[in-house]
Structure 1
Amino acid sequence: MLNDMKPIHVNVAVIGAGTAGMGAYRAARAHTDSVLLIEGDVYGTTCARVGCMPSKLLIAAAEAAHQARHTEAFGVQVKDITIDGAAVMARVQRERNRFVGFVLETVEAIPPCDRLKAKVSFQDANTLVTEHGQLIHAQRVVIATGSIPMLPPVLKGLSAHLLTNESVFDLPTLPTSLAVFGPGILGMELAQAMSRLGVKVKVFGVGGGIAGIRDPAIRDYANKVLNEEFYLDASAQVKSVKEWAGGVEVHYLHRDGAWQTEPFEYVLAAAGRTPNLAGLVLENTGLQLNERGVPVFDRFTQQCGSSAIFIAGDASNDIPLLHEAADQGRIAGENAGRYPDIQPGLRRTPLAVVFTDPQIASVGFNLKQLNQQFKDRFAEGLVSFEDQGRSRVMLRNKGILKVYGEHGSGLFLGAEMFGPAAEHTGHLLAWAAQQRMTVSGMLEMPFYHPVIEEGLRTALRDLNHKLRIGPPVIERCMDCGPGA
């Protein structure tokens, strides 16, 4: 690994060794042998270390506990359920470390001469300087520095009892109680998981948003269902959060209209993440920055303006998802490697999944985008899963799916879902959207019986009728099978 103080000269410098950075390194390396991967913090991607994987491990434990508690409706009696909080967290950490180990193996496979462990900042658009003063002269640069947790103002000043996604998975055991600030994706996933594992949980939000759901009807439905498990106020009024020796006290306006002060062992800040750009001194690059301090870039080439600087992954504040970071890293790396031959890369159909229960999925154009770009040129189809056959058989019959299509062309435009197995339905719909299928064409695809996907067919039939292409949906349609 490079560590002397001689100036370094490279064709491409990649700042950040996360998912986007490593993708950019590999892509650039296909075009030039002169690539330097720079990491200022620990190796191991956000996903493996503090994001996707440890959160899903906690959710898996929570699902096991939840299922064990809810067997009676099937005629199955399960007695004396206990949760060993230390054992739960030990498995989370053990498996998390295993996933991180896979990432570290990938990093170690990179030649040491191509790696530098250092924090860097821009001296100018083609010169980086480490915290020790070593200069790196790079003809092209890829910024892939990831993101860091945002801290709501009401939580500033807290210390020992403040958690973020970068510390919560290192707890030695489950907390007794947890106040979650931010009902976004990670906040809702962790709040529900902790609640199902026996932790007293309350969730406080601002502005009414829940896990990124755009459709108001679906959001209201999700709010109702989730509140059956734990306290969720997506538009909360919190006056203060004070730390004391045993935890924190939250003074807030309860939904019943009374102000109250409630103690919690920990607070989880889950108000989202922000691009990790503060230390780069981007003003020295001459790049145009937006109101959040992020360089203005072309999302099909990842190029910042007309410069030789590219940006990828969470640092771009575009779509902070692993598969998007990987795509952006590849595009940025390829263009940095073959610069000045800049070419647009493949940007896939938007797909996002939230691993609450019921799950949440969004595909393609969301409702806000549809109202902006299609106005009165789209229709929506709807299905409720409350009476859907397969869902009811499994007692997973809560949820709504809405699908959107374009008048005239019949083109499938997107969907939003809060319901069972949304991760799988979401993939089917994303593939259909990327193939630019029509709603009628989707209905020509096979549907087995009895499966949850039959609910998708019902929604598509409803949409096709509203697009004035197909007949009305037949109630209790027997060619579909009972309860389809």
Structure 2
Amino acid sequence: MQKTILTPDICVIGAGSAGLTVAAAAAAFGVEVVLIEKDKMGGDCLNYGCVPSKALIAAGKAAQAHRNSAKYGVKANEPSIDFAAANAHVRNVIAAIEPHDSVERFEGLGVNVIQSAARFVDAETVEAGHYLIKARRFVVATGSSAFVPPIAGLNEVPYLTNETLFDQTNRPDHLLIIGGGPIGMEMAQAHQRLGSKVTVIEASKALSNSDPEFAAIVIDRLRAEGVDIREGANVEKAEKSENGVRLTLKQANGTIDYVDGTHLLVAAGRSANITNLGLDEAGIKTHSKGIEVDKGLRTSNKKVYAIGDVIGGLQFTHLAGAHASLLVRTLLFRMPVNHHKLVIPFVTYTEPELAHIGMTEQEARQVHGDGLKVLTADFSGNDRALAEGKTVGKVKLIVGKGGRLVGADIVGPQAGELLAPLALMISKKMHVKALLDLMLPYPTLTEVLKRAALSYYAGAAESPWLRRLLAFLRKLG
């Protein structure tokens, strides 16, 4: 059968966050766009990642709030968990968002949506279903998938990834989780709160990409809630057991241990979706983590760009969206961009939440040396946190030479929301005193940021120079 040749201005491969953003923006300016997706519109975030995980976390929070209500004078018994209903909540949230990412919506925007697998057949042509697409520019936005580590016997036992976890309508009696990163820890706490027994196995340190002091606060909270977190343990083998799965663990000291569970979740990281795309035929270079791009997100094939998880590095929906926004400027307006300059925030949605943006304290010390100031404040000194009984956590502001905010860490209630003003300050290279000039409503959690900023001027009242100046001004009457 002869294939139909299409010649759009832009061809986007992948209808996740990054691809949808490029397609919608280009179509809004009247640019002809072909969007190719072989699976579900909305990609990993809507169907298997951010949206369902946060919906399940919300269900877990509701259960935990019930358990903790007595301290507020509201007496309650252990909540009765309907796991199928919690799963229905997850499905309902996805269904509410789906129309925004649907084929119908994008076709209504003027995008030509092809529901098929895509593959480069040469440097200038993509094949998808009954079509050959010869576009002026191509955008690869195929995202990433759960990485399955090479553990002996793993392929012979039933296991879950984020792509299958949210299909579970029956509560796991004992959920084993391989991986103590953000996904593993979020799902550990959510399932523990919804009545499962949970064991997390982490080869090094749980939440190792976060500030160690702040990560420890989250880990202590999860352990207090009953999550069994085993750090420094390598999974040597997986095998079927009478009730589900048995894992053989090797501890750092060489000790062999075993753990049995009814269900197994593999949350050991992500890998870029680059197979079966015909990248070699298109002359597109790759590296160990994904597609190789320059600062402008262009691949070794000058007609092809790559954005989002598929290029490796940090893998967040908001980063994919930022890549897409940069690329629209380049593709439509020929503006030079540099994705290396993006200041990337990230949040682990446990309770308490764990948030970070900009430089870590260690990175900042290497750059700013003795000129660095680290300002902190505890939530225990915040009136709103006290009123709500959520006083565990703290803020760290990392201030470089000249008083400019260069990084921040927060662990505590609504840390992700509190990160917003700090993200603005860092992106706009603002001085920490901007927080002091800001009037905030009382009582709010945001005041903890201002309290931390105030310590930038700690000791000023004892300055001999300032005291002499005040004495002089008093003499003036």
TM-score by length of 1: 0.86
Residue 355 of structure 2 is matched in structure 1 by 361
Residue 482 of structure 1 is matched in structure 2 by none
SS at match of 2:155: coil
Q: Does 1:391 align with 2:385?
A: yes
2:215 to 214, 219, 233: 219
Q: Does 1:312 align with 2:307?
A: yes
Amino acid at match of 1:149: A
CA deviation string 1:164-221 (max 9, x = no partner): 11111111222111011112122111110001111000111122140731x2222233
Q: Distance in 2 between matches of 1:442 and 1:177?
A: 46
Paired-residue identity, %: 27
Residue 156 (structure 1) shift = 6.0
Q: Does 1:421 align with 2:414?
A: yes
Amino acid at match of 2:375: G
Q: Distance in 1 between matches of 2:182 and 2:336?
A: 33
Change (3 A) 1:267 1:348: same
Between 1:248-257 and 1:220-229, the stretch displaced more is 248-257
Residue 481 of structure 1 is matched in structure 2 by none
Q: Distance in 1 between matches of 2:42 and 2:407?
A: 33
Change (3 A) 1:45 1:287: closer
Residue 111 (structure 1) shift = 4.1
Q: Does 1:241 align with 2:220?
A: no
Amino acid at match of 1:91: H
Change (3 A) 1:259 1:76: farther
SS at match of 2:323: helix
Residue 444 of structure 1 is matched in structure 2 by 437
Q: Does 1:179 align with 2:176?
A: yes
Q: Distance in 2 between matches of 1:287 and 1:259?
A: 44
Residue 7 of structure 1 is matched in structure 2 by 5
Change (3 A) 1:118 1:333: farther
Q: Does 1:228 align with 2:224?
A: yes
Q: Which has the higher contact order (CA 8 A, sep 6+)?
A: 1
CA deviation string 1:217-251 (max 9, x = no partner): 22233333332221113422333221246310122
Residue 454 of structure 2 is matched in structure 1 by 461
1:282 to 276, 279, 282: 279
Residue 134 (structure 1) shift = 4.7
Q: Counterparts in 2 of 1:12-31, with a 5 A limit?
A: 12-29=10-27
Q: Distance in 2 between matches of 1:453 and 1:78?
A: 31
Q: Distance in 2 between matches of 1:87 and 1:308?
A: 48
Is 2:284–2:291's contact at 8 Å kept on the other side of the alignment? no
Q: Distance in 1 between matches of 2:264 and 2:345?
A: 30
Q: Counterparts in 2 of 1:364-379, with a 5 A limit?
A: 364-379=358-373
Is 1:447–1:453's contact at 8 Å kept on the other side of the alignment? yes
Change (3 A) 1:291 1:392: same
Change (3 A) 1:156 1:327: farther
Change (3 A) 1:154 1:310: same
Residue 327 of structure 2 is matched in structure 1 by 332
Is 1:440–1:464's contact at 8 Å kept on the other side of the alignment? no
Residue 279 (structure 1) shift = 1.8
2:403 to 402, 410, 428: 410
Residue 253 (structure 1) shift = 5.4
CA deviation string 1:111-148 (max 9, x = no partner): 47x12222122223212234x68532222111111111
Residue 106 of structure 1 is matched in structure 2 by 105
Report which of the two has the higher share of helix: 2
Between 1:357-366 and 1:189-198, the stretch displaced more is 357-366
SS at match of 1:58: helix
Q: Any stretches of 5+ residues in structure 2 without a counterpart?
A: 464-477
CA deviation string 1:43-65 (max 9, x = no partner): 23322111111111111111111
SS at match of 1:279: coil
Q: Distance in 1 between matches of 2:319 and 2:15?
A: 16
Residue 148 of structure 1 is matched in structure 2 by 145
Change (3 A) 1:345 1:238: closer
Amino acid at match of 2:218: A
Change (3 A) 1:108 1:369: farther
Change (3 A) 1:156 1:276: farther
Is 2:123–2:283's contact at 8 Å kept on the other side of the alignment? yes
Q: Distance in 2 between matches of 1:157 and 1:4?
A: 43
Between 1:145-154 and 1:386-395, the stretch displaced more is 386-395
Amino acid at match of 2:91: Q
Residue 374 (structure 1) shift = 3.4
Q: Distance in 1 between matches of 2:429 and 2:53?
A: 33
Residue correspondences, number? 460
SS at match of 1:40: coil
CA deviation string 1:354-405 (max 9, x = no partner): 2100001112223354245434442211223245433233221111221100
Q: Distance in 2 between matches of 1:469 and 1:36?
A: 61
Residue 321 of structure 1 is matched in structure 2 by 316
Q: Distance in 1 between matches of 2:367 and 2:138?
A: 34
SS at match of 1:170: coil
Q: Distance in 1 between matches of 2:271 and 2:279?
A: 16
1:89 to 66, 87, 90: 87
SS at match of 1:261: strand
Q: Any stretches of 5+ residues in structure 1 without a counterpart?
A: 473-484
Change (3 A) 1:471 1:460: farther
Q: Distance in 2 between matches of 1:81 and 1:435?
A: 46
Q: Distance in 2 between matches of 1:375 and 1:180?
A: 40
Q: Distance in 2 between matches of 1:250 and 1:463?
A: 50
1:433 to 410, 426, 430: 426
Residue 80 (structure 1) shift = 5.0
Q: Distance in 1 between matches of 2:390 and 2:7?
A: 58
CA deviation string 1:404-428 (max 9, x = no partner): 0012x11111101111221221112
SS at match of 1:20: helix
Residue 77 of structure 1 is matched in structure 2 by 75
Q: Distance in 2 between matches of 1:5 and 1:128?
A: 12
Q: Does 1:382 align with 2:384?
A: no
Between 1:327-336 and 1:154-163, the stretch displaced more is 154-163
Is 2:218–2:354's contact at 8 Å kept on the other side of the alignment? no
Residue 195 of structure 1 is matched in structure 2 by 192
Q: Does 1:207 align with 2:199?
A: no
SS at match of 1:327: helix
Is 2:175–2:265's contact at 8 Å kept on the other side of the alignment? yes
Q: Distance in 2 between matches of 1:28 and 1:256?
A: 56
Amino acid at match of 2:214: I
Is 1:45–1:103's contact at 8 Å kept on the other side of the alignment? no
Q: Distance in 1 between matches of 2:460 and 2:220?
A: 34
Is 1:29–1:337's contact at 8 Å kept on the other side of the alignment? no
Residue 463 (structure 1) shift = 3.8
Residue 4 (structure 1) shift = 6.8
Q: Distance in 2 between matches of 1:72 and 1:89?
A: 27
Q: Distance in 2 between matches of 1:41 and 1:371?
A: 45
